[in-house]
Structure 1
């Protein structure tokens, strides 16, 4: 019997219960392969977190089954520890998994990939640490692996999460419903400790993977292991131009437009002027209210994946594995 011990954490509600069923299949297949599996799933994220943290030091890897929010939860549990994070995408969006090129909703293929990765070199990827400024600080560190959405993209995310439509059209529907009343938001931004700048922006996103909204390629060339983030800003356009922008973002052909600015950063402080309030979203989940600080944690998460098959890695770093 293998000495490898893997924790399995499934989101019981992701994709209307699909993740729970996929998690059971993955657990069964891992056990058949001789892996010791401990099921850490719970009725809520806090319960699952507590179970995982209690046994974390005994685990070789933590395998999460669900969508982007479940992946973020797993990252928070294993960040800056030797425990590797395995991902079985089975949520409604799966944007981080898409950015990596992982197979979606295929438990057999996902399990084979995890078993293969156990014998492969460790892949380290960056995380984004999010902390609220002022009195809204969360009770624990909030991490994301994909993106932090701060503008129109955050408002759309909030509307999409509350929608009852099928997940395949939820984001598009939310865009169309949010658009008529939207106006550029009056942000202030401090980049890498620099001076405070006022920016009226439509979209403001801090990217590691650069993919969100069920496949929108906000930063097509983003890397998840280069020790930096990309701050993507869209400004100076109206509603009609914004609507025409989205198909280009899905194709990743928007980056040369004058309205789009993408620059590398390590830390960003951002808030809203004129007493406006807004909640940031990251990897599909609600996070801190603005103002907040988000910074890169280079190599904070050890990914259970084959470095030769994962997209979004720095080519030089990958070749050095």
Structure 2
């Protein structure tokens, strides 16, 4: 390299300095880097940070604690995807989530699969829940096998298993089967058994069973006729306004209108519906899962149905 006057700078290799300087610099840099990395490893070492459990503390959790957490999750899941995401997390989660202790607590929404999405894997999962003693799964699988798959005997036995655990919908469904003779020929009707099942379901608070029992008493269908008692049950079976600040009963059948989205709440007026929507129902309202899809309008962005934001459908 030359200066402006053309004088050359002396090159370092001429005096034998360049190679020694470069080697020394490389050696010092390597030593410094090794010391720095060793310090980081010591600070970030799993053994020093977590003891003998390594970097994954999950492996140190006992199985009974994990099962308790998964059971809580399955009982509060709002859709099948909430539970499926747990199954695909890791191998340990997949094994523990299918434990009977977890499946026995699974909520109805955990296996609420629409008919168009039904598959063999969904059927197997529902059967696992039923085998684990899940009452809702026994009822759901029993209804599917009885009415959809035409497996009358197995479906009825599953509903009977749920009915033994005082599951009101199962008791009412079995009562309807006895009234209609659906399990076999029309000659297999057992009206007295139907009335007994209806009475049990009505005692547990099933409104439809209470109305059916009222009609049986009023008409003398399967039981000794008692018009006054039948009318009393029919009046008790009238719907109440779902707004907790109201609770007014119907004065005639189908007077109140129910939410057209979920179909589980009834209101005596639009004012009660609007108040209950803001206070409570907005967080709970969800489309009801039905095996036979029905044409209907859904919920708009304001949370109402029928396109007007009030959620009031047909009675």
TM-score range, shorter chain: under 0.3
Question: Could you say which structure has the higher helix fraction?
Answer: 2
More strand by share: 1
Q: Which has the higher contact order (CA 8 A, sep 6+)?
A: 1
Normalising by structure 2, what TM-score? 0.26
Q: Calculate the TM-score normalised by the size of structure 1.
A: 0.25
